[in-house]
């Protein structure tokens, strides 16, 4: 039902906006009317626009309202590791409303245990019980018990060391730092990403730290954003890193402009009861027009398409794995519907003819592997910076989208999904394991990019 409604709304927009008409002179002059190929990719903007707005967007919107994807577990109280958090929410809309226990589906309330000894002490779980010893004595009367008993107890110190080893092994594949505590569930539908008034020194410090300290940069580039004229002097891998971050930044800005807290006729901020959240074309022009960005704004918008293609490729690459996921929430009917809806989207994703090609990156021996590790560490650092965001709602969506993008990079570059086949047995599937939070973040982050491209087309129609 939701899918049909979304499709009907989409078709109404397309008919009303003359989606396929591009001969308007004013439209050609619009700064967000992007044309031509997307740098470092083989397809062009028009191809992505049609594919996303006609095929992906209606489907992804109907998928994200399902329980498996709408509930996201996050720790919003983790301390900033880099500086004292001195920021405050500018307006009340930035506070996140956590879920009540009754709202969470039964199947999501407890994480699936990795083993049946989850609640036992490290020592007790390996110690044989009295019944086992009795059975052993009765079945081996001529056996020396002292010599035959295999001592499987492990000290608490050793067990802690094993945990440290596991964290090290996990970190070799992950592009995001795992949170120190599980946090609590948040209903994403009740906490939409939109303008909250979070700006000024605190917000600028976040992006400055990301761009200036954690993005690869050409030498002698003092500006927070890398000028497009200097971009081609960087190697492919470093360009990809910058474009991915720039594209995510552009996407977030489009979300804020499309769901802006509007101003009423008397100049006062509208209250939440008035439902005055909507598109702000003037704000979009301020953030992206050539005149206000020194000609760089349209390049940032093109980077949005680049990031979209990278995440599209990650979904296609992980499709054999994701198609076998159960999407468990405890409701059999809903879980099966979610699986079918996800598989439908994955079939569309795989049909895209010109995917991003990650195989040309990090080739060339030892230096390439060192660059790959540097690439991963830079992104992990950005994931830690998200704990420094002062606005709760901004932190929620920032952490979710960074984890989603980090999961995409893990799929593309960890090497574990390169040879994945559905026929692999359960013993080997753990090599390709994705946490539930990673899957939820991956799909929601892709949904955010999809909505950005769709909203950008709506802004074009507003300009006409």
Is residue 101 assigned to a domain? no
List, as residue ranges, the binding site: 194, 196, 207, 246, 249, 287
CA torsion through residues 82, 83, 85, 89, sign: negative
Q: Quick check: 93 pLDDT over 80? A: no
| Of 429, 403, 402, 401, nearest in space to 416 by CA | 429
Q: How far apart are CA 234 and CA 228, in angstroms?
A: 11
Residue 352 lies in a domain: yes
DSSP-derived secondary structure for 368-433: HHHHHHHHHHHHHHHHHHGGG-SSHHHHHHHHHHHHHHHHHHHHHHSSTTTT--TT--HHHHGGG-
Confirm whether 65 is domain-assigned: yes
In a domain, 254, yes or no: yes
* Residue 185 scores a pLDDT above 50: yes
Question: Mean pLDDT over residues 142-150, rounded?
Answer: 39
Write down how long the chain is.
464
In a domain, 281, yes or no: yes
pLDDT of 141 > 80? The answer is no
For residue 74 the two structure tokens come to: 């996050």
Look at residue 182 and tell me whether its pLDDT is greater than 80.
no
pLDDT at residue 325 tops 70:
yes
Asked whether residue 316 carries a pLDDT value surpassing 70, the answer given is: yes
User: 54-63, 116-125, 221-230, 383-392: which range is least confident on average?
Assistant: 116-125
CB of 399 closer than 8 Å to CB of 72: no
334 belongs to a structural domain: yes
Which residues sit in the known binding site for FAD? 194, 196, 207, 246, 249, 287
Q: Which of 94, 215, 388, 391 is catalytic?
A: 391
Q: Which domain holds residue 55?
A: 45-86+156-173+183-263+277-418+429-463
Residue 89 pLDDT level (bands cut at 50, 70, 90):
low
**Encoding tokens for residue 309?**
């293609």
- Tell me: pLDDT of 402 over 90: yes
What percent of the chain is modeled with pLDDT above 70? 67
User: Of 290, 291, 217, 296, whose CA–CA distance to 249 is shortest?
Assistant: 296
Is-catalytic flag, 391? yes
pLDDT of residue 457: 92
Contact 152, 383 (CB under 8 A): no
pLDDT score of 87 more than 80: no
pLDDT mean across residues, the chain: 76
Determine, yes or no, domain membership for 387: yes
Q: What is the pLDDT of residue 248?
A: 96
Q: Is residue 294 part of a domain?
A: yes
Mean pLDDT of 338-366: 92
99 annotated active-site: no
Q: Which of 86-95, 213-222, 402-411 has the lowest mean pLDDT?
A: 86-95
Residue ranges in 73-227 assigned as alpha helix (H): 130-139, 145-148, 156-171, 201-208
Residue 72's DSSP bridge partners are: 186
Q: Computed over its alpha carbons, how large is the radius of gyration of the chain?
A: 25
How many domains does the chain contain in total?
A: 1
């Amino acid at each position: 039902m939701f899918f049909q409604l979304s499709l009907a709304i989409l078709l109404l927009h397309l008919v009303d906006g003359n989606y396929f008409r591009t001969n308007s002179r004013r439209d050609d002059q619009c700064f967000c009317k992007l044309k031509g190929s997307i740098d470092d990719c083989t397809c062009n903007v028009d191809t992505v626009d049609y594919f996303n707005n006609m095929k992906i967007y209606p489907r992804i919107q109907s998928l994200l309202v399902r329980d498996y994807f709408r509930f996201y577990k996050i720790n919003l109280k983790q301390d900033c590791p880099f500086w004292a958090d001195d920021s405050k929410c500018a307006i009340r809309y930035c506070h996140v409303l956590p879920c009540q226990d009754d709202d969470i589906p039964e199947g999501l309330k407890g994480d699936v245990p990795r083993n049946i000894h989850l609640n036992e002490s490290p020592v007790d779980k390996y110690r044989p019980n009295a019944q086992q010893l009795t059975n052993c004595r009765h079945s081996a009367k001529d056996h020396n018990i002292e010599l035959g008993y295999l001592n499987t107890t492990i000290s608490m110190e050793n067990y802690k060391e094993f945990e440290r080893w596991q964290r090290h092994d996990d970190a070799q594949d992950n592009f995001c730092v795992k949170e120190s505590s599980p946090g609590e569930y948040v209903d994403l539908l009740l906490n939409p990403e939109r303008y909250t008034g979070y700006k000024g020194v605190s917000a600028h410090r976040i992006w400055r730290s990301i761009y200036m300290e954690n993005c690869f940069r050409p030498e002698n580039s003092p500006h927070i954003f890398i000028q497009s004229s200097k971009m081609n002097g960087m190697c492919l891998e470093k360009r990809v890193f910058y474009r991915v971050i720039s594209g995510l930044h552009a996407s977030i800005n489009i979300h804020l402009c499309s769901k802006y807290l509007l101003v009423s006729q008397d100049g006062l901020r509208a209250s939440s009861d008035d439902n005055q959240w909507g598109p702000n074309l003037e704000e979009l022009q301020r953030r992206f027009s050539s005149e206000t960005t020194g000609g760089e704004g349209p390049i940032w918008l093109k980077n949005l398409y680049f990031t979209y293609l990278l995440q599209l490729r990650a979904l296609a690459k992980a499709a054999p794995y994701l198609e076998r996921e159960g999407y468990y929430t405890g409701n059999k009917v809903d879980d099966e519907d979610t699986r079918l809806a996800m598989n439908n989207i994955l079939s569309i994703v795989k049909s895209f003819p010109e995917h991003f090609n990650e195989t040309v990156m990090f080739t060339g021996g030892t230096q390439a592997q060192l660059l790959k590790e540097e690439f991963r560490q830079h992104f992990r650092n950005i994931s830690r910076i998200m704990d420094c965001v002062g606005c709760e709602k901004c932190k929620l969506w920032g952490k979710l989208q960074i984890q989603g993008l980090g999961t995409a990079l893990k799929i593309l570059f960890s090497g574990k999904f390169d040879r994945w086949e559905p026929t692999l047995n359960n013993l080997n599937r753990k090599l390709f394991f994705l946490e539930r939070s990673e899957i939820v973040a991956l799909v929601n982050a892709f949904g955010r990019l999809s909505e950005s491209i769709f909203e950008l087309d709506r802004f074009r129609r507003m300009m006409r």
